Structure 1
Amino acid sequence: MRLLWNVLQPWRPAFLRAMLFGTLATLSALALTALSGWLIVRASQQPPVLYLLVAMVGVRFFGLSRALSRYLERLGVHDAVFAAATRVRDGLWSALSQKLPARRELQRGDAVLSQLVGEVDALRDLLPRVVLPPISSLLTAVGVMVTTGLLLPQALLLQGAVLFIALVCAPLLAVAADRRAASAEQGARSGMLSRLSVLLSAAAELRSNRVSKGPLDSVRELDRKATAAATRSAWAQGSGTALLTACAGLSAIGFLMIGGPLAASGQLPAEVLLALVLLQLGLIDAFAPLNQAAIGLPAVRAALSTLARELESSPVPTLPKAEPGFAVQAENVSLGWEGRAVVEGLDLSLARGQWLTVTGPSGAGKSTLLATLMGSVPSLGGHLAVTGKIAWCPQESHLFDSTLRGNLALARSAAEAPDDSELLQVLKQVGLGPLLAELPQGLDTKIGLAGNELSGGQRQRVAVARALLSKAELVLLDEPTAHLDEAGALALMTDLRSSLQGCTVLLVTHRPEDRDATDQLLELGLQSVSVHDTVKV
């Protein structure tokens, strides 16, 4: 639960306010119930009305206090929880962005959407129902024990037994009846979110091939499982509440049996006895949220466990700087994942301004090399040195649903934002001058969600323009022509070589044509590594 402590940060004023007003709301509700009973019995004795004025004002006070305290509690707990969710999202964003080059599955929108949105939202919804009720219930129990001890100490043992059942036994019964239904519901909802994201992105292909029924049925099945889990969870919560209700009713009878003789002998006012009896019945509403909290606790733990795995990241040692005149130097370097080498014995010296083309079959270590150069994963052995700022252009660079200017401005901080002349120049360098002339609003033209208003080649050119604006000295191009036809790939590579003059470039490609105009060729095989010098033509 250390992650929960760090995320929720209960020492912050918002959470302390929520805890204070939550307890006051519960105590006000109990005081309202008890005082109302006292007032009814006392009024039946027809005393002078002045004797009742204080109690009448007290009833109004506790009625208003309960509503106001509950409102202030909701404000405080939502303030605390939303701030906690923001901290989790910030941490997830930092962790996932570091792991992105090393984990291909994170490049699928549904994977990031499920973790960054679905699981954090589930945690955000669960925390108000799980964290605060135990604290408020415990403080309320202390107040009830003090009240009983002052007014009817003979029933103190009975009161302690009832509170023990309310605080421990009823929640345990609810958890046992739940059988992790809340966790199952959360998992099914998260799976639905991920599956729906995939289905929406592939809707056209599924409809055109008339194969949408199966995937949609799988979503319906997940929804059915989530609904069944929610129903089971409701039954579990009801079982805990039933035990609490039965104990409260028996406690009221017990208080009557203990206090009845005292009231008959005049040792205990009848109105005080009735107030204590009604207080027992008021415990039902006061402690019922504790059952829901107990049911939701396994789901919170599961969500925190999943998020903790993503938030944990082993620090990758900073790569040393290469010798003057070189961008990348590798001596007997081994690359791989989790101790399993994919590339061994790599020797490489890439001078500043040179092009290195990397080829090889799938699984040979091309993506591993890029991830290691970017510092996402450590090398397994040897000496690897890199000099200069690095820019990465993946196969499908993400473009935001914003303007062309906004997507390019991401390359630098707001303090160093490029001006229009620089933006126009770099767009011409990457071959987007004709496109810019056709755009109705120029740089301020919206390019659509994920850049869907642009062609595949144009999107890749925008990504390269963004890399150039970052003033990176080492540019990593990961299959830039993977989704283009032959003519488009040739045109893009021609513009890339022109616009990236003066930069050190590492190009990962499967196209044999890209091997010609390069300074060095690195061929990665499943069992071998070879580096060749080539001649530019």
Structure 2
Amino acid sequence: MEAGVPSSAGLHRASPGARRVLRLALPPVRRLWSAIALGVLSGGSAVALLASSAWLIARAAEQPALMYISLAVVGVRAFALGRAFFRYLERLAGHDAAFRQLPEVRTELYRRLVPLAPDGLGGTRRGDLLSRLANDVDELQNYPLRVVQPLATSGLIALLTVVGTFLLLPEAALGLLLTLVLAFVVGTLVNTWASGRAERRLAPLRADLSDAVSDLVRNLDVLTAFGALDTARKRVDDASAALTAAVRSRAVGVALTGAVVSVLAGAATAIALATGIPALGAGRIDGPELAVVALLPLAVFEVFGMVPLALGSWRQVVASAERIAATAPETLPSGIPVDRDAPVELVVRSVPELRLTGVGAHWPGASIPVLTDVDVRIAPGERVLLTGPTGAGKTAIAHVLTRLIDYSGSYTIDGVEAFSARQDDVRRIVGLCEQQPFLFDADLRQNLLFARDTATDADLLAVLDRVGLGEWAAARGGLDAPVGERGALVSGGQAQRIALARAILADFPVLIVDEPTANVDGAVADTVVRDILTTAAQDGRSVLIISHTRVPSELVDRSVRIEDGRVVA
């Protein structure tokens, strides 16, 4: 066992990355053991309740004086109350410990996702990523609640019950121990056979359904326009059917496991009677003790029945941990920039010079270079046009300059090598307006404030005026105007202007604008480009505008063309 991780030949073993996630999901010992102790008290009260009840009924049948059974009467009442009371406290303590640990898991997951975004997550589907961030992380709460706690609690209760039975009748204790071992082995095998595969597939199937629903909802208008709605709906139906089948298979496995445990509980009672009746005849035990020996297996199996189900929960937890570990690996893939342990302080008090010399780069996880021996210089205050065919490497240059992907060669900011500085420091100097700027499903104010959260409404209105959106914003209700999910309520040109407003608020000395006319019709493309370049240049900042369409020559200082990852002009 490692960090509370079960180990058995019949279990799905976790990879090193999943074990790291599971260790993070396990609450501290001081919290976990309090829940386990309360669980032992609850389970022990349940076993003691049945034992004391059996002894009381059998002893009362002998019609003794009340004084001889009064202690048992008090015990029955105490154990009945204790069973419910400790059970409540155990669930409270266990869930509190598990829920307190989930923020640690989410924080670590986001911390590891930040360096990967956006290029390191290019191959991950949106719905799948959402499922990993929500469902898979939530599934980890079952690790302490349905795996560690039941195994520890049931094991201790079973051990104590066997010892107690041994003190009354060793033969019955041996039979109880044998049936408990059989319940563990056979129950685990039956559960694995009936629902093991389904339990491991639940997390991926939930992700498939989430991804299908997300695609359908987000692209409903496009799917309807192109007559592909039925195909998308069928994808959702198929994903739902597959998930339903897996859940049903798991339910069958749980039912069969419960049946096996019940049968073996009856066998343990039969063995207790088979050994207890001769012992009663021989005078080794009396009638009330025979009742206790016969009914104890029923009580302990009620608690022990959680063990095979805990092993089924283990498979689901491991599957979720594997998916989380794959999403946020401990070792970043090649092409993802990493901060040095002792980064150089990057302090720029004016618009800096950017210089790429012999730069090569590839997208994260890819082996084919997207840039080869690129030389580009952006002087302070210069407006540079970067052109080239689709796939030539224009966006890759932008992502190198903003340290979203790593590079070989040299990239300096006022003579300071970029890889020796902190990435956040580089990104405070070099800003990027992407081809499809992301707009939150909130009002205009909130979409601007995250660039500078100290900005006043007057600051926001002023910057909207600078990018040509002042009248438009006023007509829509001002800063409270909604922009819709991913900017559904604004046009492509307006989205580009909002992104430019955010860049101005963030006060980047160097601004990169990637394909500003990609989502704009030709009638307004020149206006958008002109406004971007003139507005950005008003503060003396440098601008690198990436475009595969024509840009008026009077708006830029010079042009650079790239083809097949190399600068050709």
Q: Deviations over 1:8-56 (max 9, x none)?
A: 2331554333322233222222222222211111111111223322222
| Paired positions, count | 527
Paired amino acid for 2:443: T
Residue 330 of structure 1 corresponds to which residue in structure 2?
356
Maintained 8 Å contact 1:332/1:344: yes
Q: Deviations over 1:386-421 (max 9, x none)?
A: 4652333222222223232222111135xxx11233
Residue 445 of structure 2 corresponds to which residue in structure 1?
405
Paired amino acid for 2:543: V
2:73 counterpart of 1:56: yes
Gap change, CA 1:374 and 1:4, over 3 Å in 2 = same
Counterpart-to-counterpart distance in 2, 1:260 and 1:267? 10
Residue 464 of structure 1 corresponds to which residue in structure 2?
500
Q: Deviations over 1:86-109 (max 9, x none)?
A: 333333333334322314647974
- How far off its partner does 1:198 sit? 0.3
Residue 256 of structure 1 corresponds to which residue in structure 2?
273
Counterpart-to-counterpart distance in 1, 2:565 and 2:402? 24
Paired amino acid for 2:559: L
Residue 534 of structure 2 corresponds to which residue in structure 1?
498
2:509 counterpart of 1:473: yes
- How far off its partner does 1:322 sit? 10
Maintained 8 Å contact 1:328/1:349: yes
SS at match of 1:180: helix
Q: Deviations over 1:156-205 (max 9, x none)?
A: 33333223223344223311332411122332221011100100112223
Maintained 8 Å contact 2:530/2:555: no
Gap change, CA 1:409 and 1:15, over 3 Å in 2 = farther
Paired amino acid for 1:371: H
SS at match of 2:369: strand
- How far off its partner does 1:136 sit? 1.8
2:486 counterpart of 1:450: yes
Maintained 8 Å contact 1:189/1:226: yes
Gap change, CA 1:21 and 1:342, over 3 Å in 2 = same
Q: Deviations over 1:56-77 (max 9, x none)?
A: 2222222222222222232233
Q: Deviations over 1:269-289 (max 9, x none)?
A: 321222222111123321222
Residue 214 of structure 1 corresponds to which residue in structure 2?
231
Maintained 8 Å contact 2:358/2:375: yes
Q: Deviations over 1:358-381 (max 9, x none)?
A: 333333323333333333332134
Maintained 8 Å contact 2:21/2:324: no
Residue 380 of structure 2 corresponds to which residue in structure 1?
352
Q: Deviations over 1:467-516 (max 9, x none)?
A: 22122223232222211112332222222112212222332222222666
**What RMSD in Å do the two structures reach over aligned CA positions?**
2.8
Gap change, CA 1:317 and 1:520, over 3 Å in 2 = farther
1:226-305 equivalences under 5 Å are: 226-305=243-322
Maintained 8 Å contact 1:25/1:70: yes
Paired amino acid for 2:60: A
Maintained 8 Å contact 1:358/1:521: yes
Maintained 8 Å contact 2:128/2:208: no
Gap change, CA 1:18 and 1:400, over 3 Å in 2 = farther
Residue 6 of structure 2 corresponds to which residue in structure 1?
none
Report sequence identity in percent.
Answer: 31
Residue 34 of structure 2 corresponds to which residue in structure 1?
17
Residue 422 of structure 1 corresponds to which residue in structure 2?
459
- How far off its partner does 1:383 sit? 4.9
Maintained 8 Å contact 2:191/2:253: yes
2:197 counterpart of 1:180: yes
SS at match of 2:543: strand
Maintained 8 Å contact 1:333/1:380: yes
Counterpart-to-counterpart distance in 1, 2:94 and 2:394? 48
Counterpart-to-counterpart distance in 1, 2:291 and 2:155? 24
Paired amino acid for 1:454: V
Residue 562 of structure 2 corresponds to which residue in structure 1?
524
Maintained 8 Å contact 1:365/1:524: yes
Paired amino acid for 1:25: S
Maintained 8 Å contact 1:331/1:347: yes
- Greater mean deviation of Cα atoms: 301-310 or 286-295: 286-295
Residue 184 of structure 2 corresponds to which residue in structure 1?
167
Residue 377 of structure 1 corresponds to which residue in structure 2?
405
SS at match of 1:406: helix
Paired amino acid for 2:393: G
Residue 545 of structure 2 corresponds to which residue in structure 1?
507
Maintained 8 Å contact 2:136/2:320: yes
